[in-house]
Amino acid sequence: MFTKQYNEMMRQADVIERRNHLESLIRRLKRLDIKLEMFGNAPWIYLDSVNGVKVTDKLHSDHKFTIAFRNNGTELTDIKEIFRVIRKCINTTKSGSYEDLEKLGRGRSKH
């Protein structure tokens, strides 16, 4: 009985953690004045545009760039590819800070 409850609690914690990856990414990019526009068609979540620049690349889909999947939470697809596409869009508009995005992509911050 205890083991079953514990396993359920751990599963729910894992779902919350995976959901927070996408929310955390959006929140961090927003601090850098990078706006992501997304839409979903369950279980896919597509990245439509970055700072108003349409994303033309495709990942895990025949039609759009899949940024995440929604399966018992939200799971990011490929963080390296996500940042490559974001950098490409930022360089197109020249409206973001490439150095700040580079630090964020590596998970390092010098504060």
**Whether 30 contacts 22, CB under 8 Å:** no
Q: What is the pLDDT of residues 2-54, one digit of tens each?
A: 677 766 666 666 655 555 688 888 888 999 999 999 998 888 899 999 998 99
Q: What is the pLDDT of residues 59-86, one digit of tens each?
A: 888 889 999 888 766 788 888 999 999 9
The H or E element that residue 45 is part of is strand 44-50
Q: How many angstroms separate the CA atoms of 15 and 21, rounded? A: 10
pTM (two decimals): 0.64
* Burial of 45 per CB tally in 10 Å (0-12, 13-18, 19+): buried
